[in-house]
Amino acid sequence: MKILRFSARWLLLALMLPLIPTSQAHAGVFISVGFAPPVLPVYVQPICPTPGLMWTPGYWAYGPDGYYWVPGGWVPAPYAGALWTPPYWGWEGGNYLFHVGYWGPHVGYYGGINYGFGYGGIGFAGGMWRGGVFAYNTAVMRVGVGGAWGGNRVYVDREVVNRGIVPGGGRVAFNGGPNGVRYQASAQERSYMNERHTAPTSFQSQHEQAARADRTAYAKANGGRPQNLASSRPMNENRGPAGGARPGNEGRPGNEARPGTPNGGRPQGGPATRPTPEGRPSQPARPSQPAARPAPESRPSQPAARPAPQQSRPAQTARPAPQQHSTPRPQAEHSRPAPKGR
């Protein structure tokens, strides 16, 4: 009886795992899918806009309509010395399980997946912390230029990049199983997995939720070739979709058509789209609107004409009388006694 109860609990847990959303998953909690994720797309890493940001590569997550692409992006580290271990999909028990990424003092095991930009499958070759300052390995990292990137901010080391690439991994996005990456965690990586870890930051969670809400990010819609592969703006600068903009398009040229405005690219703010009557003459960009609306100014003349019929109601005049607008009403009263003289 105890064995049956134990098996039933594990069966219930296995059935509940696919229902756990990715954004709520933590270390040790997985999502189980019966088919493999698409291959990793090839894209160019955006230039790091400011020192101190960490690169998080793009990956396939799973949502209501299947796999969707979470664009790569720059994000502030939660603390000095923190390194990002990317998430990965692994073949286990006949299904593909999603292992959530995390922050820690070392980069742990992420299935040997070659995400690029220093994440070749083993460790991280894109940079290192030096006394509270993160230095970028420009052999694989694209950073800015100028005085901010001088000193100990950058270095070049191609050997460490080559040592960190898993042979034969290609663009496969999962470990194990049919046609998966063949790489098991080393003893050092297993020790890193037992360290104290920090969950993805709120910026990363918002970034993933925006991708989850973007219908074009799903492989079902894009055939495994998403349009928005990486975000050129840091995650801490993204404010999510606004004004009907499609989420995840922070770095597209279409959002840069209105530069220099203090409210995020909307010229004149809200009153520009809904002008008040006092503000209409001051809009030179829309001359047709002020010219087409003088009618409200002429409406006060209508109430001035309405009192005339009200004054004639006590005399019970016939309705044709209001049509004689050019004839004064006192003359119409002198013409009424005529029927009495007949």
Greatest mean pLDDT range, 52-61, 246-255, 296-305: 52-61
pLDDT band for position 279 (50/70/90)? very low
Residue 133 has phi, psi (to 5 degrees) of -120, 130
Give the list of residues 6+ apart from residue 112 with CB closer than 8 angstroms, or none: 121, 122, 166, 169, 175, 181, 182, 183
Centre a 10 Å sphere on the Cβ of residue 203 and count the other Cβ atoms it contains. Answer: 19
Q: What per-residue confidence (pLDDT) applies to 151?
A: 82
Centre a 10 Å sphere on the Cβ of residue 261 and count the other Cβ atoms it contains. Answer: 11
Q: What per-residue confidence (pLDDT) applies to 145?
A: 85
Coil, helix or strand for 300? coil
pLDDT in tens, 168-201: 889 999 999 999 999 999 999 999 999 999 999 9
State the pairing for strand pair 88-92/83-85. unpaired
pLDDT in tens, 124-166: 999 999 989 999 999 999 999 888 898 889 999 999 999 999 9
Are the CB atoms for 124 and 118 separated by under 8 Å? yes
